[in-house]
Amino acid sequence: MNSRAFRKFKTEIGQANHFLITIMIGLDAVEDGAEKRESFNTTWNPESKTASVARSKHYAIKSALAWTVDNLDMYLRLCNREPRLYSDSESTEIADTGHSIYKKFRCVINNHKKLTLDKFAYVDLLICWRNNTVHFDAENQLMHDSLNYFKNVPANDVVTNKYHLDVSQMLDRFNRGECPTFKEAATLISMTIHFVEELDSILLRDIDQYRFLETSLFKMLKSEKKTGVFSLRNTTPEKRKKKLKQFFVTAGVSEEFYNGDGERFLDEVVNLKEDEFISKVLEKRKEEEKKAEES
Summarised one tens digit per residue, pLDDT across range 32-52 is 998 888 888 888 889 899 999
Taking 70 as the threshold, does the pLDDT of residue 226 lie above it?
no
Mean pLDDT of 174-194: 95
> For 36-42, which contacts have Cβ atoms below 8 Å and span 24 or more sequence positions?
none
Residue 24's Cβ-count burial label (10 Å; 0-12, 13-18, 19+) is: middle
pLDDT of residue 246: 87
Least confident of 55-59, 119-123, 144-148, 233-237: 233-237
Residues of the chain with pLDDT > 70, as a percent, come to 96
- pLDDT, residue 228, reads 64
In the chain, where the domains are located = 4-206, 209-294
> Of 15-19, 37-41, 114-118, 199-203, which range is least confident?
37-41
